[in-house]
């Protein structure tokens, strides 16, 4: 239990600092000074002490419940990943539920912005296809869905990124789509204010930001673990910072795509990488 | 994992402390400060070295507190000092590695 608690707090703090770094990198690329790296964490904590108001149009049980479900699923992500080294399928389930949360969070708010974001959340489920394909390819290569076994496989056969690089690109696409201000982040397009989060204030927004920090940490951890083999803590820190740098740079110089282009780009890249990896595995 | 939690917490506390301190010290609008502050440079070198190279949870915690203090200063301050501290600590770390 203590292990879970420690890992969740580490995930929250490390995820917040990485997201703060992400904002800083984007700002520096755009020649702005940018906020301090600690800013994302301070924002998250600030919302817990802000007044929470409830719009009249909300569907109350969903509106509040969904926020706690969001926090719960990413805590499950921490337990399945860094704590237990369990099955990748559970993590796929976590990500699938996350999409449902995006959908319901938007629709329960009663706001037109939230509802538009809710519709886009259905479209953006396209990001699950590359994720699922990447997991299938890892299974084909290693013969296991268990993270512990995949680490073991890599310690004897070398990191998977060298044997199935296209699957790693597919997974990276998921990371890119989940990063803030992503070209694929159609649910949080600024045309929709804050998308499905628009009507969540006070401690509810604090919980959403808490969950986002954990989710960024968990996804980076999973990516590094299943493609870069057994890593030391220093390896994880360097890897997470490098990926945050790369996504920050891409997001700073790339405008957000419209929903159709976003979905088609992800499916096309996913399909090409999937076929390419299957060919590589067979040949 | 407890030691990494301590390091993260002390780094965060140090960053908040540094942010508050530097805003008290520099209330002016944003400027790019190109001068090197010797005091914070020493704090940064000591902090990053203790944090990365001490191997002790208490000294490491103090180190990351100091490193966070310099790195967490308001935008425009503490950048060069952080870079110098980090580079020195990494060189010391690499020098102690068994190749």
In this predicted structure, what is the pLDDT of residue B87? Answer: 95
Which chain A residue has the Cα nearest residue B13?
A: A38
pLDDT at B17 over 90: yes
Question: In sequence order, what are the residues at sequence separation of 6 or more whose Cβ sits closer than 8 angstroms to the Cβ of residue A208?
Answer: A67, A70, A105, A197, A200
In this predicted structure, what is the pLDDT of residue A202? Answer: 84
Nearest-angstrom CA–CA distance, A19 and A229: 24
Asked which of A57-71, A119-133, A150-164 is least confident by mean pLDDT, the reply is: A119-133
Nearest-angstrom CA–CA distance, A223 and A168: 8
Q: Would you tell me which residues 56-75 of chain B have a C-beta closer than 8 angstroms to some C-beta of chain A?
A: 71-75
> Which of A3, A4, A13 is best to mutate for the B interface (most B CBs within 10 A)?
A13
- Chain B residues touching residue A81 (CB < 8 angstroms): none
A126-to-A38, A194, A197, A265 alpha-carbon distances in Å: 32, 21, 20, 10
A166-to-A147, A155, A159, A270, A279 alpha-carbon distances in Å: 19, 20, 13, 9, 11
In this predicted structure, what is the pLDDT of residue A6? Answer: 94
pLDDT digits 0-9 by tens, A57-106: 888 888 888 888 889 999 999 999 899 898 888 888 888 888 888 888 77
A235 Cβ under 8 Å from any chain B Cβ: no
> Which of A32, A37, A82, A84 is best to mutate for the B interface (most B CBs within 10 A)?
A37
pLDDT at A262 over 90: no
pLDDT at B14 over 90: yes
pLDDT at B21 over 70: yes
pLDDT at A219 over 70: yes
In this predicted structure, what is the pLDDT of residue A106? Answer: 78
Asked which of A86-90, A113-117, A124-128, A142-146 is least confident by mean pLDDT, the reply is: A124-128
pLDDT at A221 over 90: yes
Q: Please say whether the beta carbons of A181 and A190 come within 8 A.
A: no
Q: Which ipTM score applies to this complex?
A: 0.90
Asked which of A14-18, A112-116, A259-263 is least confident by mean pLDDT, the reply is: A112-116
**Nearest-CB residue to B5 (from A9, A36, A41):** A9
pLDDT band at A188 (very low <50, low <70, confident <90, very high): confident
> Which of B73, B75, B82, B83 is best to mutate for the A interface (most A CBs within 10 A)?
B75
If you average pLDDT over residues B8-30, what whole number do you get? Answer: 91
Q: Please say whether the beta carbons of A41 and A16 come within 8 A.
A: yes
pLDDT at A120 over 80: yes
Taking an 8 Å cut-off on Cβ atoms, the answer to whether A34 and B75 are in contact is yes
Region for residue A221 given its phi and psi (left: phi exceeds 0; alpha: psi -120 to 50; beta: otherwise): alpha
Percent share of chain B, pLDDT over 90: 61
pLDDT band at B98 (very low <50, low <70, confident <90, very high): low
In this predicted structure, what is the pLDDT of residue A242? Answer: 96
pLDDT digits 0-9 by tens, B28-73: 887 776 788 899 999 999 999 999 988 889 999 999 999 999 999 9
pLDDT at A197 over 80: no
In this predicted structure, what is the pLDDT of residue A271? Answer: 87
If you average pLDDT over residues B79-94, what whole number do you get? Answer: 92
A9 Cβ under 8 Å from any chain B Cβ: yes
Which residue from B68, B17, B37 is spatially nearest to B60, judged by alpha carbons?
Answer: B68
pLDDT at A193 over 80: no
Nearest-angstrom CA–CA distance, A253 and A272: 24
The mean of the pLDDT values for chain A is 88
Nearest-angstrom CA–CA distance, B62 and B17: 13
């Amino acid at each position: 239990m203590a292990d879970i608690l420690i890992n969740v707090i580490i995930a929250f703090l490390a995820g917040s600092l990485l997201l703060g770094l992400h904002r800083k990198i984007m700002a520096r690329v755009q020649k702005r000074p940018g906020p301090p790296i600690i800013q994302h964490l301070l924002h998250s904590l600030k919302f817990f002490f802000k007044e929470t108001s409830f719009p009249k149009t909300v569907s109350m049980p969903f509106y509040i419940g969904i926020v706690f479900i969001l926090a719960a699923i990413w805590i499950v992500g921490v337990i399945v990943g860094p704590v237990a080294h369990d099955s990748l399928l559970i993590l796929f389930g976590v990500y699938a539920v996350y999409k449902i949360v995006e959908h319901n969070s938007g629709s329960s708010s009663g706001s037109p912005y939230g509802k538009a974001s809710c519709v886009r959340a259905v479209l953006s489920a396209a990001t699950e296809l590359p994720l699922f394909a990447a997991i299938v390819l890892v299974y084909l290569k290693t013969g296991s869905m268990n993270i512990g076994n995949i680490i073991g496989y890599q310690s004897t056969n070398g990191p998977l990124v060298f044997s199935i690089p296209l699957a790693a690109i597919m997974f990276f696409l998921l990371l890119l789509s989940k990063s803030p201000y992503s070209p694929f982040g159609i649910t949080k397009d600024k045309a929709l204010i804050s998308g499905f989060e628009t009507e969540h204030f006070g401690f509810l927004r604090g919980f959403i930001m808490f969950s986002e920090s954990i989710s960024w940490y968990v996804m980076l951890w999973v990516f590094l673990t299943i493609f870069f083999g057994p890593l030391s803590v220093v390896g994880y820190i360097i890897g997470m910072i490098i990926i945050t740098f790369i996504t920050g740079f891409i997001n700073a110089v790339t405008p957000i795509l419209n929903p159709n282009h976003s979905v088609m780009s992800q499916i096309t890249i996913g399909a090409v990488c999937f076929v390419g990896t299957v060919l590589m595995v067979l040949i | 994992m407890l030691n990494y939690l301590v390091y993260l917490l002390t780094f965060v506390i140090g960053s908040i402390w540094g942010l508050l301190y530097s805003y008290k010290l520099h209330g002016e609008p944003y400027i790019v400060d190109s001068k090197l502050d010797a005091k914070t440079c020493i704090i940064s070198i000591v902090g990053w070295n203790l944090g990365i190279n001490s191997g002790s949870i208490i000294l490491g915690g103090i180190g990351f507190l100091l490193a966070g203090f310099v790195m967490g200063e308001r935008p425009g301050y503490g950048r060069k000092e952080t870079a110098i501290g980090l580079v020195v600590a990494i060189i010391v770390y690499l020098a102690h590695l068994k190749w």
